[in-house]
Structure 1
Amino acid sequence: MFSKIFIITLIVGIAREATAIGQAPPKPAALAHKKGCYIKEINDVIPYGRSNIAGHCMEVVCKEERTFYSACSTQPNTDPNCKLLAGDSSKPFPECCPKTWCKTQG
Protein backbone atom coordinates (compact mmCIF):
# COMPACT_ATOMS: atom_id res chain seq x y z
CA MET A 1 0.00 0.00 0.00
CA PHE A 2 2.85 2.38 0.83
CA SER A 3 4.34 1.96 -2.65
CA LYS A 4 0.97 2.75 -4.27
CA ILE A 5 0.64 5.98 -2.27
CA PHE A 6 4.27 6.88 -2.98
CA ILE A 7 3.78 6.41 -6.73
CA ILE A 8 0.55 8.45 -6.72
CA THR A 9 2.26 11.24 -4.77
CA LEU A 10 5.24 11.16 -7.13
CA ILE A 11 3.04 11.39 -10.23
CA VAL A 12 1.01 14.25 -8.77
CA GLY A 13 4.21 16.04 -7.73
CA ILE A 14 5.68 15.77 -11.21
CA ALA A 15 2.43 16.81 -12.90
CA ARG A 16 1.69 19.79 -10.68
CA GLU A 17 3.33 22.30 -13.00
CA ALA A 18 2.08 23.58 -16.32
CA THR A 19 4.14 25.60 -18.77
CA ALA A 20 2.93 27.91 -21.51
CA ILE A 21 5.07 29.56 -24.17
CA GLY A 22 4.13 32.77 -25.88
CA GLN A 23 5.23 36.14 -27.05
CA ALA A 24 5.37 38.79 -24.37
CA PRO A 25 2.71 41.45 -24.81
CA PRO A 26 3.98 44.79 -26.10
CA LYS A 27 5.30 47.16 -23.45
CA PRO A 28 3.23 50.21 -22.61
CA ALA A 29 4.92 53.47 -23.63
CA ALA A 30 5.70 54.32 -19.99
CA LEU A 31 7.76 51.11 -19.65
CA ALA A 32 9.40 51.10 -23.09
CA HIS A 33 12.76 52.19 -21.64
CA LYS A 34 13.06 49.04 -19.46
CA LYS A 35 14.89 45.99 -20.87
CA GLY A 36 13.12 42.68 -20.48
CA CYS A 37 9.61 41.26 -20.82
CA TYR A 38 6.39 43.07 -19.98
CA ILE A 39 4.17 41.04 -17.63
CA LYS A 40 0.52 42.17 -17.61
CA GLU A 41 -0.23 40.55 -14.23
CA ILE A 42 2.13 42.95 -12.46
CA ASN A 43 2.09 45.80 -15.01
CA ASP A 44 5.88 45.88 -15.06
CA VAL A 45 8.90 44.63 -16.98
CA ILE A 46 11.02 41.80 -15.62
CA PRO A 47 14.67 41.40 -16.67
CA TYR A 48 15.79 38.76 -19.16
CA GLY A 49 16.32 35.42 -17.43
CA ARG A 50 14.26 33.60 -14.81
CA SER A 51 11.96 35.39 -12.35
CA ASN A 52 9.47 34.45 -9.67
CA ILE A 53 6.56 36.87 -9.63
CA ALA A 54 5.85 38.05 -6.06
CA GLY A 55 2.29 37.37 -4.94
CA HIS A 56 1.65 35.08 -7.92
CA CYS A 57 2.49 31.40 -7.80
CA MET A 58 4.29 31.36 -11.12
CA GLU A 59 7.71 31.58 -12.70
CA VAL A 60 8.50 33.45 -15.88
CA VAL A 61 11.50 32.86 -18.10
CA CYS A 62 11.98 35.99 -20.17
CA LYS A 63 13.86 35.71 -23.46
CA GLU A 64 14.07 38.23 -26.28
CA GLU A 65 11.86 36.21 -28.64
CA ARG A 66 9.60 34.28 -26.24
CA THR A 67 8.29 34.23 -22.71
CA PHE A 68 7.80 30.96 -20.83
CA TYR A 69 5.20 30.94 -18.05
CA SER A 70 5.14 28.12 -15.48
CA ALA A 71 2.29 27.85 -13.01
CA CYS A 72 0.67 25.22 -10.83
CA SER A 73 -1.60 22.79 -12.58
CA THR A 74 -4.58 21.21 -10.89
CA GLN A 75 -5.04 17.48 -10.74
CA PRO A 76 -8.30 15.80 -9.77
CA ASN A 77 -8.11 13.86 -6.53
CA THR A 78 -9.98 10.56 -6.73
CA ASP A 79 -8.24 8.78 -3.84
CA PRO A 80 -10.25 9.04 -0.59
CA ASN A 81 -6.99 8.67 1.39
CA CYS A 82 -5.56 11.83 -0.18
CA LYS A 83 -6.40 15.51 0.11
CA LEU A 84 -5.19 18.66 -1.58
CA LEU A 85 -3.32 21.05 0.71
CA ALA A 86 -3.54 24.76 -0.07
CA GLY A 87 -0.56 26.47 -1.62
CA ASP A 88 1.43 29.26 0.01
CA SER A 89 1.82 32.29 -2.28
CA SER A 90 4.51 33.74 -0.01
CA LYS A 91 6.90 30.99 -1.18
CA PRO A 92 8.69 30.95 -4.55
CA PHE A 93 7.55 28.74 -7.41
CA PRO A 94 7.05 25.72 -7.29
CA GLU A 95 7.04 25.54 -3.47
CA CYS A 96 3.95 27.81 -3.52
CA CYS A 97 1.86 25.24 -5.41
CA PRO A 98 -0.87 23.20 -3.70
CA LYS A 99 0.32 19.73 -2.71
CA THR A 100 -1.39 16.38 -2.39
CA TRP A 101 -1.09 14.65 0.97
CA CYS A 102 -2.04 11.00 1.38
CA LYS A 103 -2.46 9.29 4.74
CA THR A 104 -0.89 5.88 4.99
CA GLN A 105 -2.82 2.88 6.22
CA GLY A 106 -1.44 0.24 8.51
Structure 2
Amino acid sequence: MMSKIFIFVICLSVIFANEAEKVSQCRTFRGLELKVGESKPVPGTCNIATCRDNGSITMKTCALFQVLPPCKIVDGDKTKLYPECCPKSWCPGDN
Protein backbone atom coordinates (compact mmCIF):
# COMPACT_ATOMS: atom_id res chain seq x y z
CA MET A 1 0.00 0.00 0.00
CA MET A 2 2.80 2.43 0.88
CA SER A 3 4.54 1.73 -2.42
CA LYS A 4 1.33 2.59 -4.34
CA ILE A 5 1.01 5.88 -2.44
CA PHE A 6 4.67 6.63 -3.10
CA ILE A 7 4.26 5.98 -6.84
CA PHE A 8 1.11 8.13 -6.89
CA VAL A 9 2.93 11.02 -5.21
CA ILE A 10 5.84 10.71 -7.66
CA CYS A 11 3.43 10.75 -10.63
CA LEU A 12 1.73 13.88 -9.30
CA SER A 13 5.10 15.55 -8.81
CA VAL A 14 6.06 14.86 -12.42
CA ILE A 15 2.71 16.15 -13.72
CA PHE A 16 2.92 19.38 -11.72
CA ALA A 17 6.60 19.85 -12.57
CA ASN A 18 5.73 19.73 -16.29
CA GLU A 19 2.92 22.24 -15.75
CA ALA A 20 5.29 24.58 -13.92
CA GLU A 21 7.70 24.54 -16.89
CA LYS A 22 5.07 25.79 -19.35
CA VAL A 23 5.41 29.48 -20.05
CA SER A 24 3.14 31.94 -21.79
CA GLN A 25 5.79 34.56 -22.49
CA CYS A 26 9.54 34.78 -23.05
CA ARG A 27 11.75 37.16 -21.15
CA THR A 28 12.05 40.65 -22.56
CA PHE A 29 14.71 40.73 -25.28
CA ARG A 30 16.08 44.05 -26.59
CA GLY A 31 12.83 45.77 -25.68
CA LEU A 32 10.66 43.05 -27.24
CA GLU A 33 7.96 41.30 -25.26
CA LEU A 34 7.18 38.01 -26.98
CA LYS A 35 4.38 35.55 -26.29
CA VAL A 36 4.93 31.84 -26.95
CA GLY A 37 4.87 31.21 -30.70
CA GLU A 38 5.15 34.91 -31.53
CA SER A 39 7.84 36.31 -33.84
CA LYS A 40 8.92 39.95 -34.11
CA PRO A 41 11.72 41.86 -35.83
CA VAL A 42 14.56 42.87 -33.49
CA PRO A 43 14.97 46.68 -33.56
CA GLY A 44 18.25 47.91 -35.04
CA THR A 45 19.11 44.54 -36.60
CA CYS A 46 18.21 42.41 -39.59
CA ASN A 47 16.94 39.59 -37.35
CA ILE A 48 13.62 38.15 -36.27
CA ALA A 49 13.12 36.69 -32.78
CA THR A 50 10.68 33.86 -31.97
CA CYS A 51 9.51 32.87 -28.49
CA ARG A 52 9.63 29.08 -27.98
CA ASP A 53 7.26 27.15 -25.70
CA ASN A 54 10.07 26.50 -23.20
CA GLY A 55 10.71 30.24 -22.74
CA SER A 56 13.80 30.42 -24.93
CA ILE A 57 14.20 32.76 -27.89
CA THR A 58 15.46 31.69 -31.31
CA MET A 59 16.79 34.13 -33.88
CA LYS A 60 16.72 34.11 -37.67
CA THR A 61 19.29 36.23 -39.44
CA CYS A 62 20.62 36.70 -42.95
CA ALA A 63 22.46 33.84 -44.62
CA LEU A 64 26.17 34.05 -45.37
CA PHE A 65 27.04 33.25 -48.96
CA GLN A 66 29.57 33.83 -51.72
CA VAL A 67 29.07 34.41 -55.42
CA LEU A 68 31.38 33.90 -58.37
CA PRO A 69 32.20 36.71 -60.82
CA PRO A 70 30.61 38.35 -62.65
CA CYS A 71 27.93 38.15 -59.96
CA LYS A 72 27.97 40.47 -56.94
CA ILE A 73 26.57 40.60 -53.43
CA VAL A 74 24.24 43.60 -53.12
CA ASP A 75 23.35 45.12 -49.75
CA GLY A 76 19.79 44.65 -48.59
CA ASP A 77 17.48 47.57 -47.86
CA LYS A 78 18.36 48.48 -44.26
CA THR A 79 15.11 50.46 -43.94
CA LYS A 80 13.13 47.22 -44.26
CA LEU A 81 12.60 44.27 -41.92
CA TYR A 82 13.95 40.72 -42.14
CA PRO A 83 14.31 39.18 -44.73
CA GLU A 84 14.08 42.20 -47.09
CA CYS A 85 17.04 43.82 -45.27
CA CYS A 86 19.34 40.87 -46.09
CA PRO A 87 22.04 41.06 -48.78
CA LYS A 88 21.18 39.44 -52.10
CA SER A 89 23.11 38.09 -55.04
CA TRP A 90 22.97 39.95 -58.34
CA CYS A 91 24.21 38.66 -61.66
CA PRO A 92 24.26 40.40 -65.06
CA GLY A 93 20.94 39.74 -66.73
CA ASP A 94 19.01 39.69 -63.42
CA ASN A 95 16.25 42.25 -63.17
- State whether residues 55 and 89 of structure 1, in contact with CA within 8 Å, keep that contact through their aligned partners in structure 2: no
* 8 A contact 2:75–2:87 mirrored in 1: yes
1:50 counterpart residue number: 39
Encode CA deviations 1:70-98: one digit per residue, 9 max, x unaligned: 00021022x21210111222211101100
Q: Which has the higher strand share?
A: 1
Structure number with greater Rg is 2
Report the CA distance between 1:53 and its aligned residue.
1.4
Query: CA contact under 8 A between 2:26 and 2:57: conserved in structure 1?
Result: no
The one-letter code matched in structure 2 to 1:80 is P
List alignment gaps of at least 5 residues for structure 1. Answer: 1-34
Q: Give the TM-score normalised by the residue count of structure 2.
A: 0.60
Structure 2: state its 5+ residue gaps.
1-24
Distance in 2 between the 1:76 and 1:96 partners? 17
Q: Is this contact kept in 1: 2:40–2:49, CA < 8 A?
A: yes
Higher relative contact order (CA 8 A, sep 6+): 1
Contact 2:28 2:34 in 1 (8 A): no
Identity %: 27
Question: Do the aligned partners of residues 50 and 58 (structure 1) sit closer, same or farther apart at CA in structure 2, a change above 3 Å counting?
Answer: same
The amino acid across from 2:91 in the alignment is C
Query: How many matched pairs?
Result: 66
Residue 27 of structure 2: aligned partner: 37
Amino acid at match of 2:88: K
The C-alpha deviation readout for 1:34-78, integer Å capped at 9, x for no partner, is: x53332xx2x2422111011221001111241322000021022x
**Which residue in the other structure is 2:87 paired with?**
98
Which residue among 59, 67, 70 is the counterpart of 1:69?
A: 59
Q: CA RMSD in A?
A: 1.7
